[in-house]
Structure 1
Amino acid sequence: MNASVKPNITLDELDKIDIRVGTIISVEDIKSSNKLVKLSVDFGDFMRTILVGIKGERENPKEIEGKQALFVVNLAPKKMAGELSEGMLFDIGYADGIVPVLAQPEKTVPNGTRVG
Protein backbone atom coordinates (compact mmCIF):
# COMPACT_ATOMS: atom_id res chain seq x y z
CA MET A 1 0.00 0.00 0.00
CA ASN A 2 2.46 2.62 -1.15
CA ALA A 3 -0.05 5.00 -2.69
CA SER A 4 1.25 8.46 -3.45
CA VAL A 5 -0.24 11.36 -1.53
CA LYS A 6 -2.68 13.28 -3.72
CA PRO A 7 -1.85 16.89 -4.71
CA ASN A 8 -2.36 19.59 -2.08
CA ILE A 9 -5.71 21.35 -1.87
CA THR A 10 -6.65 24.55 -0.08
CA LEU A 11 -8.83 24.80 3.02
CA ASP A 12 -11.43 26.56 0.84
CA GLU A 13 -11.60 23.50 -1.42
CA LEU A 14 -11.90 21.14 1.55
CA ASP A 15 -14.59 23.33 3.11
CA LYS A 16 -16.83 22.74 0.06
CA ILE A 17 -17.28 19.07 1.03
CA ASP A 18 -20.17 18.57 3.48
CA ILE A 19 -19.35 15.43 5.50
CA ARG A 20 -21.86 14.38 8.15
CA VAL A 21 -22.59 11.51 10.49
CA GLY A 22 -25.71 9.53 9.67
CA THR A 23 -27.32 6.38 11.01
CA ILE A 24 -27.99 3.64 8.47
CA ILE A 25 -31.68 2.85 9.03
CA SER A 26 -32.07 0.18 6.36
CA VAL A 27 -30.14 -1.71 3.69
CA GLU A 28 -32.16 -2.89 0.70
CA ASP A 29 -31.00 -5.11 -2.14
CA ILE A 30 -31.09 -3.66 -5.66
CA LYS A 31 -31.95 -6.75 -7.65
CA SER A 32 -30.86 -5.27 -10.99
CA SER A 33 -27.28 -4.80 -9.70
CA ASN A 34 -24.71 -7.33 -8.54
CA LYS A 35 -22.83 -4.63 -6.58
CA LEU A 36 -25.25 -2.00 -5.29
CA VAL A 37 -27.47 -1.84 -2.24
CA LYS A 38 -29.70 1.06 -1.20
CA LEU A 39 -29.17 2.67 2.20
CA SER A 40 -31.78 4.81 3.94
CA VAL A 41 -29.76 7.16 6.14
CA ASP A 42 -31.00 9.41 8.96
CA PHE A 43 -29.13 12.73 9.23
CA GLY A 44 -31.33 14.17 11.96
CA ASP A 45 -33.06 16.97 10.05
CA PHE A 46 -33.29 14.97 6.81
CA MET A 47 -33.15 11.48 5.34
CA ARG A 48 -31.20 10.42 2.25
CA THR A 49 -31.10 7.43 -0.07
CA ILE A 50 -27.49 6.51 -0.77
CA LEU A 51 -26.40 3.69 -3.07
CA VAL A 52 -23.23 1.82 -2.17
CA GLY A 53 -21.35 -1.01 -3.88
CA ILE A 54 -20.95 -3.35 -0.92
CA LYS A 55 -22.94 -6.35 -2.13
CA GLY A 56 -19.83 -8.33 -3.11
CA GLU A 57 -17.74 -7.10 -0.19
CA ARG A 58 -19.90 -8.38 2.66
CA GLU A 59 -21.58 -11.72 3.19
CA ASN A 60 -24.52 -9.90 4.78
CA PRO A 61 -24.81 -6.20 3.79
CA LYS A 62 -27.62 -5.78 6.36
CA GLU A 63 -24.99 -6.07 9.13
CA ILE A 64 -24.41 -2.31 8.86
CA GLU A 65 -28.04 -1.43 9.71
CA GLY A 66 -28.19 0.69 12.85
CA LYS A 67 -24.55 1.81 12.56
CA GLN A 68 -23.37 5.38 12.29
CA ALA A 69 -20.96 6.28 9.50
CA LEU A 70 -19.56 9.27 7.63
CA PHE A 71 -21.22 10.44 4.39
CA VAL A 72 -20.73 13.20 1.83
CA VAL A 73 -24.17 14.83 1.67
CA ASN A 74 -23.57 17.53 -0.96
CA LEU A 75 -22.43 15.31 -3.82
CA ALA A 76 -24.63 15.86 -6.89
CA PRO A 77 -27.39 13.19 -7.07
CA LYS A 78 -26.60 10.36 -9.49
CA LYS A 79 -28.84 7.72 -11.03
CA MET A 80 -27.46 4.17 -10.88
CA ALA A 81 -29.26 0.90 -11.62
CA GLY A 82 -32.50 2.84 -11.99
CA GLU A 83 -32.22 4.36 -8.49
CA LEU A 84 -31.14 7.85 -7.38
CA SER A 85 -28.21 8.16 -4.99
CA GLU A 86 -28.14 11.36 -2.91
CA GLY A 87 -24.67 11.18 -1.39
CA MET A 88 -21.65 8.97 -0.80
CA LEU A 89 -20.63 6.65 2.02
CA PHE A 90 -17.08 7.05 3.26
CA ASP A 91 -15.44 3.68 3.66
CA ILE A 92 -11.86 2.73 4.33
CA GLY A 93 -9.82 0.24 2.33
CA TYR A 94 -11.43 -0.07 -1.11
CA ALA A 95 -8.80 2.04 -2.90
CA ASP A 96 -6.07 -0.08 -1.28
CA GLY A 97 -7.58 -3.41 -2.30
CA ILE A 98 -8.68 -4.55 1.15
CA VAL A 99 -12.20 -5.36 2.28
CA PRO A 100 -13.68 -1.97 3.12
CA VAL A 101 -14.87 -0.97 6.58
CA LEU A 102 -17.08 1.95 7.58
CA ALA A 103 -15.55 5.27 8.60
CA GLN A 104 -17.27 5.80 11.96
CA PRO A 105 -17.20 8.19 14.91
CA GLU A 106 -15.52 6.67 17.98
CA LYS A 107 -18.75 7.07 19.96
CA THR A 108 -22.36 7.87 19.12
CA VAL A 109 -22.99 11.49 18.17
CA PRO A 110 -26.20 13.21 17.02
CA ASN A 111 -27.17 12.39 13.43
CA GLY A 112 -26.22 15.25 11.12
CA THR A 113 -23.09 16.17 13.10
CA ARG A 114 -20.61 17.77 10.68
CA VAL A 115 -17.00 16.78 10.21
CA GLY A 116 -14.38 19.48 10.56
Structure 2
Amino acid sequence: MKHAPVKALITLDDIAKLDIRVGTIVKVCEIEKSNKLMKLSVDFGDHHRTILAGIKQERTDPFGITGKQALFVLNLPEKKMAGELSQGMLFDIGYEDKQRPCLAMPEVPMPNGCRAG
Protein backbone atom coordinates (compact mmCIF):
# COMPACT_ATOMS: atom_id res chain seq x y z
CA MET A 1 0.00 0.00 0.00
CA LYS A 2 1.20 3.49 -0.82
CA HIS A 3 0.61 5.69 2.20
CA ALA A 4 -1.23 8.94 1.58
CA PRO A 5 0.14 12.16 3.06
CA VAL A 6 -1.49 13.42 6.25
CA LYS A 7 -4.27 15.88 5.45
CA ALA A 8 -4.26 19.54 6.51
CA LEU A 9 -4.71 20.24 10.22
CA ILE A 10 -8.21 20.72 11.56
CA THR A 11 -9.51 21.79 14.95
CA LEU A 12 -11.40 19.87 17.61
CA ASP A 13 -14.39 22.03 16.65
CA ASP A 14 -14.22 20.52 13.14
CA ILE A 15 -14.33 17.00 14.60
CA ALA A 16 -17.19 17.97 16.92
CA LYS A 17 -19.31 18.79 13.83
CA LEU A 18 -19.37 15.12 12.83
CA ASP A 19 -22.13 12.98 14.31
CA ILE A 20 -20.64 9.47 14.20
CA ARG A 21 -22.69 6.81 15.96
CA VAL A 22 -22.82 3.07 16.47
CA GLY A 23 -25.65 1.28 14.74
CA THR A 24 -26.58 -2.36 14.21
CA ILE A 25 -27.14 -3.41 10.60
CA VAL A 26 -30.44 -5.27 10.82
CA LYS A 27 -31.04 -5.88 7.11
CA VAL A 28 -29.05 -5.73 3.85
CA CYS A 29 -30.90 -5.56 0.51
CA GLU A 30 -29.82 -5.34 -3.10
CA ILE A 31 -30.63 -2.28 -5.17
CA GLU A 32 -31.44 -3.62 -8.63
CA LYS A 33 -30.64 -0.33 -10.39
CA SER A 34 -27.07 -0.33 -9.05
CA ASN A 35 -24.09 -2.64 -9.48
CA LYS A 36 -22.30 -1.06 -6.46
CA LEU A 37 -24.88 0.02 -3.88
CA MET A 38 -26.56 -2.05 -1.19
CA LYS A 39 -29.36 -0.79 1.06
CA LEU A 40 -28.71 -1.15 4.79
CA SER A 41 -31.44 -0.87 7.42
CA VAL A 42 -29.68 0.31 10.58
CA ASP A 43 -30.91 0.45 14.19
CA PHE A 44 -29.64 3.50 16.09
CA GLY A 45 -31.54 2.75 19.30
CA ASP A 46 -34.11 5.53 19.19
CA HIS A 47 -34.68 5.29 15.42
CA HIS A 48 -33.88 3.32 12.27
CA ARG A 49 -32.32 4.72 9.10
CA THR A 50 -31.71 3.58 5.56
CA ILE A 51 -28.06 3.91 4.59
CA LEU A 52 -26.86 3.19 1.05
CA ALA A 53 -23.33 1.83 0.85
CA GLY A 54 -21.16 0.94 -2.15
CA ILE A 55 -20.33 -2.53 -0.85
CA LYS A 56 -21.82 -4.84 -3.50
CA GLN A 57 -18.52 -5.45 -5.30
CA GLU A 58 -16.21 -4.88 -2.32
CA ARG A 59 -17.25 -7.93 -0.35
CA THR A 60 -17.57 -11.59 -1.27
CA ASP A 61 -20.82 -11.69 0.73
CA PRO A 62 -22.27 -8.20 1.29
CA PHE A 63 -25.13 -9.79 3.26
CA GLY A 64 -22.57 -11.09 5.80
CA ILE A 65 -22.55 -7.76 7.65
CA THR A 66 -26.14 -8.30 8.80
CA GLY A 67 -26.28 -8.22 12.61
CA LYS A 68 -22.95 -6.42 12.96
CA GLN A 69 -22.42 -3.11 14.69
CA ALA A 70 -20.56 -0.42 12.77
CA LEU A 71 -19.91 3.32 12.77
CA PHE A 72 -22.04 5.65 10.65
CA VAL A 73 -21.97 9.40 9.92
CA LEU A 74 -25.50 10.64 10.56
CA ASN A 75 -25.44 14.39 10.02
CA LEU A 76 -25.02 14.44 6.24
CA PRO A 77 -27.79 15.69 3.95
CA GLU A 78 -30.05 12.93 2.67
CA LYS A 79 -28.99 11.84 -0.81
CA LYS A 80 -30.93 10.04 -3.52
CA MET A 81 -28.93 7.40 -5.39
CA ALA A 82 -30.20 4.74 -7.82
CA GLY A 83 -33.76 5.78 -6.98
CA GLU A 84 -33.28 5.22 -3.22
CA LEU A 85 -32.74 7.70 -0.38
CA SER A 86 -29.68 7.42 1.88
CA GLN A 87 -29.86 8.95 5.36
CA GLY A 88 -26.18 8.82 6.29
CA MET A 89 -22.90 7.15 5.45
CA LEU A 90 -21.25 3.89 6.46
CA PHE A 91 -17.87 4.73 8.02
CA ASP A 92 -15.60 1.97 6.72
CA ILE A 93 -11.84 1.50 6.48
CA GLY A 94 -9.65 0.87 3.44
CA TYR A 95 -11.58 2.14 0.41
CA GLU A 96 -9.59 5.36 0.00
CA ASP A 97 -6.34 3.35 -0.01
CA LYS A 98 -7.63 0.81 -2.54
CA GLN A 99 -7.75 -1.93 0.09
CA ARG A 100 -10.65 -4.32 0.51
CA PRO A 101 -12.83 -2.28 2.91
CA CYS A 102 -13.87 -3.48 6.32
CA LEU A 103 -16.30 -2.10 8.86
CA ALA A 104 -15.17 0.41 11.48
CA MET A 105 -16.74 -1.26 14.48
CA PRO A 106 -16.58 -1.23 18.29
CA GLU A 107 -14.37 -3.87 19.90
CA VAL A 108 -17.15 -4.72 22.38
CA PRO A 109 -20.93 -4.43 21.95
CA MET A 110 -22.13 -0.86 22.52
CA PRO A 111 -25.64 0.58 22.82
CA ASN A 112 -27.02 1.53 19.42
CA GLY A 113 -26.81 5.30 18.97
CA CYS A 114 -23.68 5.63 21.12
CA ARG A 115 -21.57 8.51 19.77
CA ALA A 116 -17.93 8.29 18.71
CA GLY A 117 -15.50 10.95 19.83
Instruction: Give the corresponding residue for 2:26.
Output: 25
One-letter amino acid of the counterpart of residue 20, structure 1 = R
Deviation, 1:58, is 1.1
Aligned length: 116
TM-score by length of 1: 0.98
One-letter amino acid of the counterpart of residue 9, structure 1 = I
Deviation, 1:84, is 0.4
Q: Where does structure 1 lack aligned partners over 5 or more consecutive residues? A: none
Instruction: Give the corresponding residue for 1:106.
Output: 107
RMSD: 0.6
1:6 aligns with 2:12: no
- Per-residue deviation, residues 5-43 of structure 1 (Å, max 9, x unmatched): 111111111101000000000000000000000000000
- Matched position secondary structure for 1:70: strand
Q: How does 1:70-109 map to 2 (within 5 A)?
A: 70-109=71-110
One-letter amino acid of the counterpart of residue 46, structure 1 = H
